[in-house]
Amino acid sequence: MKAYFLSILVILCAIPMTYAKDLSAGWELWYPYQYHNKKIELVGLDIESFKAIMAQANLKYTSAEIPWKTHLQFIKTGKMDMAMGASKTDERQQYAYFSLPYRQETVKLFVKKGQAIKTNLTSLSDLAGSPYNIGVEAGYYYGEEYQDLIKRPDFQNNISEVIDLEQNVSMLLDGQLDGFLVDPVTMKAFVNKYDMHNIFEQHPVEIYSADIHLMLSKMTGDEVLLDKINQAITSLKNNGSLQKITRRWSQMQNIN
């Protein structure tokens, strides 16, 4: 009898963990990835991709609006289970699992229209000691080169950290900034939303381009959950669903 119960225990331990509870995920206002439309519906490229992945994986979730820096801390402590639209970094991998990528992200330097040719930069490192002041958003990741450069005081002097894109735009128009770093898709959505065409232009300097992932707290998730999500992403990539979502949102001319 003892051997029988031991066998049952071994079998139960071998059964993968199931996730009957709703997983908590955060989002932050970020056009056109995560935002409320005019009908107060939560929409966007990341939102739609996340919904598709979770449905394919047969996982339930709840979502809450939360600032990105706070969200990262909650992932670290286990107060929140998941994050979408995340860049993989060595620091974050210490406290989070990263899914397979579900889209890519590019970051560019935007300046006032007509100023790109006058802004003498051929690389991100040229900012150090230059006369230019560039805006970035707090808590965002701009690539390994930026992470290394921001440790240098001569580079820090040329960087202004702000809350969001709206503040960067306002400071640029007021002459407090010479440019700011942002994803071109986000910038396109912002320009369309506020009808600010022919005011900004993209500088040719290369900044950053990389894969984007879902991020899972190591405090509340495990590799079984990660594998379940990765299988869903693989299936949605193979049938073209994720590519279709990304293409449609990237090509939108008007954001509702």
Domains and CATH numbers, the chain: 17-104+210-251 (3.40.190.10), 105-209 (3.40.190.10)
48-97 residue pLDDT tens = 999 999 999 999 999 999 999 899 999 999 999 999 999 999 999 999 99
Q: Residue 20's pLDDT is what?
A: 53
Angstrom distance (rounded) from CA 158 to CA 189: 27
Angstrom distance (rounded) from CA 231 to CA 99: 10
174 CA to centre of own chain: 28
Candidates 109, 137, 114; CA nearest to 124 is 109
Whether the model pTM is above 0.95: no
169-184 residue pLDDT tens = 999 999 999 999 999 9
> Is the confidence at residue 128, as pLDDT, over 80?
yes
Angstrom distance (rounded) from CA 157 to CA 150: 9
